Structure 1
Amino acid sequence: MTFPTPSPADWKALAEKGLKDRPIESLVHLDADDLAVRPLYGAATGVQPLFAPRPSDADGRAWDLRTLVEGDDPAAVNTALLADLEGGAASVVLRGTVLADSEPLSAALDGVALELAAVGLEAGLDGPEAANALAVAGKGSPRARLMFHMDPVSAFAETGEARRSMEEHLVLAANTAARHAGAYPEASFFLAGGRVVHEAGGSIGQELAFAAANAVALVKAAIDAGMTAEQALKGTVLGVAVDQAYFDSLAKVRALRLIWRSLSRAFGAETPAVIEARSSRRMLSARDPWPNLLRLTAAGFAGAVGGADAVVVDAFSRSNGRPDAFARRQARNTQLVLMEEAHIGRVDDPAAGSWFLDQRTRELAEAGWAEFQMIEAEGGIVEALRGHVIQPRVARARQSLEAALSNGAAQMVGVTKFVDADPRPAPVEPEASIVPEGGGDACVPLTPIRLAAPFEAKEAGR
């Protein structure tokens, strides 16, 4: 039996009938990048198919289940790290003063086979020093899977402070990568992150552009330090945030893969993108942390279905401090359920063939590319930050997000809707605040926000 294929005109007639007094244009919405989200997509509306799969599986798994371990005491970090690896994680990212030297870092990595479990760093502007410590901990094993994750630009953008000029920080990161490239051929060196824009309230196009411009700055510095373009590109991991808006988040990951394809071709050494997707912190609630489990599950789904090579799902209690063992286990198990029970990684590119998602991916890639070209026209990412070019654009996107929550156009479960009058707290571990050290360079910071914070403050004042 063959079924008739309705035309857009057929759909429009039925839609107008259902809308009654509302115009058909009321179904079209503009996002923070001024992209129109339409009610109907199809071959008849000019959508072109798109295929943007992750290049390969992660040691037999669809993606790398990566966890974030934060701490200052080597023994406590070691306990948490081993618990994650024994509990199903494939790799970890470390954060905290444990990265300050090779001795505490080596103690934290006691019992970890670095040839099997990849270990990454989140050390901000201290990335080169932490990278040197990790290189010592790797004991020169050529098969050690080290992820130095140096990302000085994001650290500078978030704090607005740097001890040296950013040119010096980039040179230092690049020289560190070049020095360790020979000893650790399996290592990745840079994390070209765009998450700092997302966490400050920026749009998807702005986040993609920041990641792309960040990558260009790092790769250029690495080539100047003596690395080949292919080495620099293969040693660069792209970082983006994924949140509860899973359609947009997964389209963002796919769009970043398209942008990287163009970037690597421009350097004359086309390489597949390696993407690390981390769950958004701006979407987390603090007063009632438990609904965060829903948001984090949606974010993990988006990263996996979007084709991220590695996915980091944060702990649901992260807004109140460092997560305890229970919260870390929940974060890890969220991914395990998506991977081992829901089997969402069995298809290379599950979004391919969806008219809406293919069109959305292409439009986000084009929006990101346009923003990237604007940044490059200003002299690159560092000059655009110093010149206060990026920050006002992010501020406008943030204002549109906040306005949507204020006027009811958008909702947050447990924050603006279905608010628990007597929420249960979740235990956390204390976390010391870090004061950035400046004196060498400065810009207006892209300060992280939490969208729930204003509503929680009102609730606390009642």
Structure 2
Amino acid sequence: MSDLFPTPSPAQWRTLAEKALKDRPIESLVHMDADGLVTRPLYAGATGVEAVFAPRPSDADGRAWDLRTLVEGDEAAAVNVAVLADLEGGAASIVLKGAVLADSEPLARALDGVALELAAVALDAGLDGPDAANALAVAAKGSPRARLMFHMDPVSAFAETGEAPRSMEEHLTLAANTAARHAGAYPDATFFLGSGRVAHEAGGSIAQELAFAASNAVALIKAAVEAGMTAERALKGVVLGVSVDQEYFDGLAKVRALRLMWRSICQAFGVEAPALIEARSSRRMLSARDPWPNLLRLTAAGFAGAVGGADAVVLDGFTRAEGRPDAFARRQARNTQLVLMEEANLGRVDDPAAGSWYLDQRTRELAEAGWAEFQIIEAEGGLVEALRGHLIQSRIARSREVLETALAKGGKQMVGVTKFVDPDPRPSAFEAEPRVSPVGGGDACVPLTPIRLAAPFEAEGAAK
């Protein structure tokens, strides 16, 4: 077989590539990203790529990954209808967000009919995370094996809004004390979400997002240990959060890189704990004027999370750039994952990216770049101090400028926004999202305001 299909050397490949490029230099195939990492045109064993193996640790109760849906709402009865529809339609777990989390009574009504021992329930409550966690604990009373995911993440909420009613040290302590109080009653629960998504949504690079997630997790673990939890329980109580977008190679390499970084964090605490990674679809990639191409972007994001080895994948509705998704958009988000899981069979291979010279190299380089950025944050006094000092924000602003410039000058394209633009897009239904003003008075920083990459192009088109 080797005689029929000889393996060319890098030198032979270069000769053929130069011939195919004609007048273009071979260096035109080399690209550099916002982290200064170079993507080369050729990866092979001869280029010194080291193999990486970063599989997810479990099979999510017989499935390749946990199909998780986001249900946003303020009225308990409507949320309950949406939750039951998702679970009956194939979802394995849910994330709840909205005013329904304000108290245990509406939350219990929203979860009426949900078997909490089977369907995991997560929260997205921002700085009100401890109160929402207490409400969920009360709503789950009588189900000690309930698979609760409190997802307390005060630093991300602070970074996004730039305001907090207390000092961030107090918010971290409150979250940690809440976790310690419920740890005994709910042994299967997780407590914290060490997410880096706020960095991504503000235009940050991959390494910046990974570093934010790692430093966020470390801050939560330290607070939990100070509150009396063991390091092992604290680490096992952390879920790592990361964004995935239409750049599926980078997305899946990012998930794998985060798993490698988590191993180093565990070693620093002297504990072995598997990484639990929740991958959510990017909102900065969504278009509002023509939401239908978002279905393609969300499918690519789901592919990245699944192939990258995320333990759970959450896809937004395709209309999320305009408001809360309606029942149709939520069904599309759910069914996209079902097709990827049950028809495309993406989870049948454990860590399918392993062995790809390019993806292994990209994974390792992203992990190293993320770890270097994480060390910078820790040297600046930790995540909270780096936010207060406007250190992270300025670095993310530079990455955002690189990304926006690439789109403006044609180096990057968005289907339906900068390329193949539909002159008369079909409207789509969505639900209005109430505006919630952040509460300040305690701590402050320059906010990492979320962006949407299509917004400038949509505004330009509307002005014509």
**TM-score, length-normalised on structure 1?**
0.99
Q: What SS is found at the alignment partner of 2:321?
A: helix
Q: What SS is found at the alignment partner of 1:233?
A: helix
Q: Percent identity over the alignment?
A: 81
Q: State the partner residue of 1:277.
A: 279
Residue 20 (structure 1) shift: 1.9
Q: Is the 8 A contact 1:255 1:362 kept in 2?
A: yes
Q: State the partner residue of 1:170.
A: 172
Q: Is the 8 A contact 1:8 1:44 kept in 2?
A: yes
Q: State the partner residue of 1:186.
A: 188
Q: Is the 8 A contact 1:322 1:428 kept in 2?
A: yes
Q: Which amino acid aligns with 1:51?
A: F
Q: State the partner residue of 1:292.
A: 294
Q: State the partner residue of 1:226.
A: 228
What is the rounded CA distance, in whole Å, between the counterparts of 2:249 and 2:35 in structure 1?
16
1:78 aligns with 2:85: no
Q: What SS is found at the alignment partner of 2:194?
A: strand
What is the rounded CA distance, in whole Å, between the counterparts of 1:116 and 1:141 in structure 2?
11
Q: State the partner residue of 1:6.
A: 8
What is the rounded CA distance, in whole Å, between the counterparts of 1:368 and 1:256 in structure 2?
8
Q: State the partner residue of 2:204.
A: 202
Of the candidates 115, 120, 137, which is equivalent to residue 118 of structure 1?
A: 120
Q: State the partner residue of 2:159.
A: 157
* 1:301-340 deviation per Cα after TM superposition (whole angstroms, max 9, x unaligned): 0000000000001100001111110000000000000001
Q: State the partner residue of 1:330.
A: 332
Residue 6 (structure 1) shift: 1.0
What is the rounded CA distance, in whole Å, between the counterparts of 2:65 and 2:420 in structure 1?
34
Q: Which amino acid aligns with 1:114?
A: L
1:442 aligns with 2:454: no
What is the rounded CA distance, in whole Å, between the counterparts of 2:146 and 2:217 in structure 1?
24
Q: State the partner residue of 1:408.
A: 410
Question: Cα 1:203–1:156, aligned 2, differ >3 Å: closer, same or farther?
Answer: same
Q: What SS is found at the alignment partner of 2:446?
A: coil
What is the rounded CA distance, in whole Å, between the counterparts of 2:31 and 2:304 in structure 1?
21
Q: Which amino acid aligns with 1:44?
A: A
What is the rounded CA distance, in whole Å, between the counterparts of 1:266 and 1:170 in structure 2?
21
What is the rounded CA distance, in whole Å, between the counterparts of 2:6 and 2:42 in structure 1?
17
Q: What SS is found at the alignment partner of 1:142?
A: coil
* 1:351-388 deviation per Cα after TM superposition (whole angstroms, max 9, x unaligned): 00000000000000000000000000001000000011
RMSD: 0.6
Residue 175 (structure 1) shift: 0.2
- Greater than 4 Å deviation, 4+ residue runs: none
Q: Which amino acid aligns with 2:418?
A: T
Q: Which amino acid aligns with 2:102?
A: A
Of the candidates 343, 347, 370, which is equivalent to residue 345 of structure 1?
A: 347
* 1:8-32 deviation per Cα after TM superposition (whole angstroms, max 9, x unaligned): 1111111111222222111110001
* 1:392-440 deviation per Cα after TM superposition (whole angstroms, max 9, x unaligned): 1101111111111110111000000011111111101111101000000
Q: State the partner residue of 1:90.
A: 92
Q: State the partner residue of 1:384.
A: 386
1:41 aligns with 2:43: yes
What is the rounded CA distance, in whole Å, between the counterparts of 1:178 and 1:426 in structure 2?
44
Q: State the partner residue of 1:135.
A: 137
Q: State the partner residue of 1:431.
A: 433
Q: Is the 8 A contact 1:217 1:381 kept in 2?
A: yes
Residue 4 (structure 1) shift: 1.7
Residue 141 (structure 1) shift: 2.0
Q: Which amino acid aligns with 1:450?
A: R
Q: Is the 8 A contact 1:120 1:149 kept in 2?
A: yes
Q: Which amino acid aligns with 2:328?
A: F
* 1:110-144 deviation per Cα after TM superposition (whole angstroms, max 9, x unaligned): 00010000000000000000000000011142210
What is the rounded CA distance, in whole Å, between the counterparts of 2:328 and 2:22 in structure 1?
51
Q: What SS is found at the alignment partner of 2:239?
A: strand
What is the rounded CA distance, in whole Å, between the counterparts of 2:433 and 2:143 in structure 1?
33
Question: Cα 1:233–1:140, aligned 2, differ >3 Å: closer, same or farther?
Answer: farther
Q: State the partner residue of 1:239.
A: 241
Pairing of 1:44-83 with structure 2 (within 5 A): 44-83=46-85
* 1:250-284 deviation per Cα after TM superposition (whole angstroms, max 9, x unaligned): 00000000000000111010211000000000000
Q: Which amino acid aligns with 1:408?
A: G
Q: Is the 8 A contact 1:141 1:183 kept in 2?
A: no
Q: State the partner residue of 1:256.
A: 258
What is the rounded CA distance, in whole Å, between the counterparts of 2:432 and 2:448 in structure 1?
25
What is the rounded CA distance, in whole Å, between the counterparts of 1:113 and 1:42 in structure 2?
50
What is the rounded CA distance, in whole Å, between the counterparts of 1:190 and 1:100 in structure 2?
18
Q: State the partner residue of 2:268.
A: 266
Residue 202 (structure 1) shift: 0.3
Q: Is the 8 A contact 1:159 1:447 kept in 2?
A: yes
What is the rounded CA distance, in whole Å, between the counterparts of 2:425 and 2:143 in structure 1?
49
**TM-score, length-normalised on structure 2?**
0.99
Q: Which amino acid aligns with 2:447?
A: P
Q: What SS is found at the alignment partner of 1:178?
A: helix
Q: Which amino acid aligns with 2:30?
A: V
What is the rounded CA distance, in whole Å, between the counterparts of 1:281 and 1:4 in structure 2?
45
What is the rounded CA distance, in whole Å, between the counterparts of 2:442 and 2:26 in structure 1?
55
What is the rounded CA distance, in whole Å, between the counterparts of 1:164 and 1:381 in structure 2?
16
